[in-house]
Structure 1
Amino acid sequence: MSLAFTKMQGLGNDFVVLEAVRQPCPMGSDRVRAIADRRRGIGCDQVLLAEPATRPEADFGYRIWNADGSEVEHCGNGVRCMARFLMDQGLVDQRPVTLETRDGRLTRVVPGEDGAMQVDMGSPILEPAAIPFHADHRALSYPLPVNDQAVEAMVVSMGNPHAVIRVDEVRHAPVTTLGPALENHPAFPNRVNVGFMEVVAADLIRLRVFERGAGETPACGTGACAAVVAGRLNGWLDPRVSVSLTGGELVIHWRGEGHPVWMTGPAETVFDGRLVTDHP
């Protein structure tokens, strides 16, 4: 079996993108792990699949798997790359594209200048039960017991769950130790992405993100959105914030509760290829 694919990246967060519109493309956790393997496969943080939408208001549906084979709800860098892929493949015109995620969310992507893509990420989810997160009531932050210490975390969902930790300097943040401990914390039934945020100024933050099923990645779009939402709710940030990540910069706009979060950033093709497999 031979499948056409495109390798893409958004600020170094890399993807293998396939489509099940013009070709059959069966996908499962074993195949995803094989594709994502950086030594024996193509290598990527996530695998993205375009497929026909189930709702008339969407142009296409898209699904996301992490490198460990787990399917997830949303990916900010991935949705920009998916929209660019659909345009480059001639499956949609160069116009706003509406994509339907696995959890039924509709995400609107608008092509901008110099290859940038603007994404309406929807309104953040702040109620604990909807995140999902085990807490008795909504709060600005929550103390979580981790490794015999209490970690203060701001918890937000952008279609996928995020715990945001404010740190003095991201370069010294305990990403590799606290990240996996929080990812699998029992308070998060679906696991959680963990962001470490340094507030440089009201319009600038630095951020590192430990992603579920992928580890630390150079950039995380939903993580950038969640960090800005958390910072805005605590009164630390302006409505427009530049988010400096290891892989580059995203610009996040959020006017406040009741309004959607807008994310602007690049989406680039690395190469096209064909995946040959012995299994259908």
Structure 2
Amino acid sequence: MKRRPGMKFTKMHGAGNDYIYVDCTQSVIDNPSQVAIDLSDRHFGIGSDGLILIKNSDKADFFMEMYNADGSQGQMCGNGIRCVGKFVYDNGLTDKTTVTIDTLAGVKILELKTGADGKVETARVNMGAPILEAAQIPVDTKGLKEYKGCEIETIAGKVVKTPVVDETIVVEGKEYKVTAVSMGNPHAIVYLDKDIDIKKFEIEKIGPFFENHKAFPERINTEFIQVVDKNNLNMRVWERGSGETLACGTGACASLVATVLNGMCDTTATLHLLGGDLKITWDKDENTVYLEGPAKTVFTGEVDI
């Protein structure tokens, strides 16, 4: 009996945030949510933080459809989208070094940088404007401890009336200061003292309680940040649906914005993550956040689904 062809895939990562990439411009994958669960398993599958399908788009050059390791669909991934740019360029799906990618968080613009071998090494992504209104992130401020509320003037005189900046949240009986930002998906940024060894911080114990806290109706990605100086931040991240990952692009962007709002860093800084470094810039004149970092291919293969 003739063997049924398997699914061709490429394993890629951006600063250690790894996904399985599939070219769906000419094919369809049934039940991608279950495929993401099965193949993301690091013991019985390929192993990844999730699955990303590259599709055609009538709004942009391509569409990125992503699923977390638990099968839930994500809106956007800054590390993942850089690898999409590398995939489409390196595999000849485009010859452009400025590429537009549609996502559930809107169209993003990538500037691809190639190396001596002609393949993409890094990408700079226009991540758009940060969302700071509590209801749009979303954050249910009733779930915070005595939400004080405030108004902040951010860009060109625009006033945000209900931000969540330096608010108190109680998680497992302990108080934390939290700032919330959406980059198309929701993030809660929490600051750790400088004397804490961030690599030994027990994120696996506290991360799930933040993710499922009543203040976050759609669950939350949580970044634990240690401010080194005005231009350097250490970061660990607990992603909803995936647990701890080695990097999170939207999380790094949200963390830079949050730290600027808290007056603790400049509008350009390097985020040091477990998987590598990401350079983030918040252009306050444009109200646009830019993410720059590496994109790597690990291996290609074929798998039965």
> Normalising TM by the smaller chain, what interval?
over 0.9
User: Which residue in 1 is equivalent to 2:14?
Assistant: 10
Greater Cα offset, 252-261 or 150-159: 252-261
User: Which residue in 2 is equivalent to 1:74?
Assistant: 76
For 1:144, the aligned partner's letter is I
Matches within 5 A, 1:166-245: 166-168=191-193, 169=196, 170-245=198-273
Residue aligned with 2:247, SS:
coil
In 2, Cα distance between equivalents of 1:162 and 1:254: 16
In 2, Cα distance between equivalents of 1:258 and 1:189: 30
Structure 1 residue 99: Cα displacement = 0.6
In 2, Cα distance between equivalents of 1:16 and 1:93: 22
250 and 45 in structure 1: CA distance in 2 versus 1, 3 angstrom threshold = same
In 1, Cα distance between equivalents of 2:57 and 2:283: 30
1:63 to 2:65 alignment: yes
In 1, Cα distance between equivalents of 2:114 and 2:22: 25
1:83 to 2:97 alignment: no
In 1, Cα distance between equivalents of 2:114 and 2:23: 26
**Large movers: runs of 4+ above 4 Å:** none
1:132 to 2:138 alignment: yes
Structure 1 residue 149: Cα displacement = 2.2
Q: TM-score, normalised by structure 2?
A: 0.86
CA-to-aligned-CA distance 1:158-196 (integer Å, 9 cap, x gap)? 111100001013234341222110001111111101001
Residue aligned with 1:176, SS:
helix
Residue aligned with 1:112, SS:
strand
Count of residues in correspondence between the two structures: 274
Structure 1 residue 23: Cα displacement = 2.2
Structure 1 residue 96: Cα displacement = 0.8
Structure 1 residue 257: Cα displacement = 7.0
In 2, Cα distance between equivalents of 1:139 and 1:8: 34
Structure 1 residue 94: Cα displacement = 3.7
CA-to-aligned-CA distance 1:23-53 (integer Å, 9 cap, x gap)? 2322432221111111111110121001111
1:122 to 2:124 alignment: no
User: Which residue in 2 is equivalent to 1:31?
Assistant: 35
1:152 to 2:196 alignment: no
Q: TM-score, normalised by structure 1?
A: 0.93
Residue aligned with 1:61, SS:
strand
Over the residues paired in the alignment, what is the CA RMSD in angstroms?
1.5
Residue aligned with 2:92, SS:
coil
Does the CA-based 8 Å contact 1:173-1:196 persist in structure 2? Answer: no
Greater Cα offset, 28-37 or 254-263: 254-263
Structure 1 residue 5: Cα displacement = 0.7
Residue aligned with 2:63, SS:
strand
- Unaligned segments of structure 1, at least 5 residues: none
Residue aligned with 2:205, SS:
helix
Q: Which has the larger radius of gyration?
A: 2
State which of 120, 142, 146 in structure 1 corresponds to 2:167: 142
For 1:122, the aligned partner's letter is G
- Unaligned segments of structure 2, at least 5 residues: 116-120, 142-148, 150-161
In 1, Cα distance between equivalents of 2:25 and 2:199: 43
Does the CA-based 8 Å contact 1:122-1:260 persist in structure 2? Answer: yes
